[in-house]
Structure 1
Amino acid sequence: MMGSARQFLVFALIGVINTAVHFVVFVLLLRVFGVPMLAASAIGYCAGVANSYVMNRLWTFKVTTRANSKEFLRFAAVNVVSLGINLLVLKYLTESAGLGPEVAQIGAIGASLVANFAGNKWWAFAGAREPRDQLK
C-alpha cells in the first residue's frame, strides 16, 4: 500500500479527472441534448461522483473486496459532508474574513478535499482493506 502523502496526491489527481467528467457531461447534455442547465450540471456532478468512486476504490485505496451498497452509501455520505464543509468555509471566508468568492473558494476546496480524503480513507473504504493496510 502506498503512503498517505502519495495516496492523497492520487486522490487529488482523480479529483481533477472527476471535475473534467462533470464538465464534459454537463456541456454535452446542455449543448448537444438541450437538457436544462441545472439538470445537466446535477447529472454531470453525479457522473463525476460515480467516476470518483470507481477510480478511488481501485487506485487510491486499492480496495480488493467486492463493491457493495453499504460502501457506496458511506462514500456518498462523505461527499455530502465534504460539500457542506466547502459551503461553510466558503461562506465564512467571504463574510467573516472578507475574501472575494474566487479566492475563498480555493480555501473551501482545500478544506473539503482534506475532509473528503480523510472520510474515504478512514471510513468509506476502511472496512474493505486488509487490517494491516488500514494502519498506513
Structure 2
Amino acid sequence: MSWIRMNSTKNQIKEVILFCVVGCLNTLIHLGIYAILVVLHTHFLLANIIGYLFGLTNSYILNKVLVFKQNKRSLAYMVKFTLVNILTLFINSILLYILVKKMHFHIIYSQLAVTVITFFINYLGSKLWAFK
C-alpha cells in the first residue's frame, strides 16, 4: 500500500514539474509577444491579451497531452480550460492595471510579478476542474 502512495506522489511531483515546464514555455510566449507589442506602442492591456492568447493555445495543447494525459478529443476539456484561463487572464489584467496605472511600476516587471501569482490559480483550475 505504501508503494502505491509513493508511486502516486512521484506521479504528482512529475505532473507539477511538467506543468511548470509547460508554464515556463507559455510564459515565454506570452511575455515575448507582450514585450514586442509594448515596444511597438500597443496599449499594455491589449498587448497582454494578445500575448496571453498565444500562450493559451500552446498551453492547452501541451497540458492536455503531456501533463494531464487527456488524449481523447473533448469539447468539454477545451471549454473548461478556456474558462479557467479567462478567469486567470481577468485576474492577470486587473493586477497588471493596478501595478502599472495605480502603483506606477514598470510594465514588464509588473507582468512578471502578476504571472507568478496567476500561475497557481491556473494550475489548480486546470488540475482540479478543467482536465478532471
Whether 1:58 and 2:65 are equivalent positions in the alignment is: yes
Given the alignment of the two structures, is residue 119 of structure 1 paired with residue 120 of structure 2, yes or no?
no
The amino acid across from 2:61 in the alignment is: V
CA distance in 1, matches of 2:21, 2:93: 22
Contact 1:89 1:111 in 2 (8 A): no
2-structure distance, mates of 1:17, 1:69: 24
In structure 2, the CA distance between the partners of 1:74 and 1:102, relative to structure 1 (3 Å rule), is same
On the 8 A contact 2:84/2:122 being kept in 1, the answer is yes
Show the counterpart of 1:106: 112
Alpha-carbon distance in structure 2 between the residues aligned to 1:15 and 1:86: 15
RMSD (CA atoms)? 3.1
What is residue 85 of structure 2 aligned with on the other side? 79
The total of aligned residue pairs comes to 109
Distance 2:96 2:56 in 1: 21
Residue 16 of structure 1 is aligned with which of 11, 14, 24? 24
Give, in angstroms, the shift of residue 47 of structure 1: 5.2
Query: Distance between the aligned counterparts of 2:66 and 2:83, measured in 1?
Result: 20
Distance 1:19 1:91, change over 3 A: closer
Q: 1:86 to 1:46 in 2, by over 3 A?
A: closer
TM-score by length of 2: 0.63
3-state SS of 2:105 partner: coil
User: What residue ranges of structure 2 are gaps of 5+ in the alignment?
Assistant: 1-7, 37-45
Deviation by residue 1:10-68 (Cα, 9 ceiling, x = unmatched): 222213333566769xx9xxxxxxxxxx8xx95x865543332121122222335x231
Contact 2:96–2:111 under 8 Å retained in 1: yes
Q: Which range moved further: 44-53 or 116-125? A: 44-53
- Amino-acid identity (%): 28
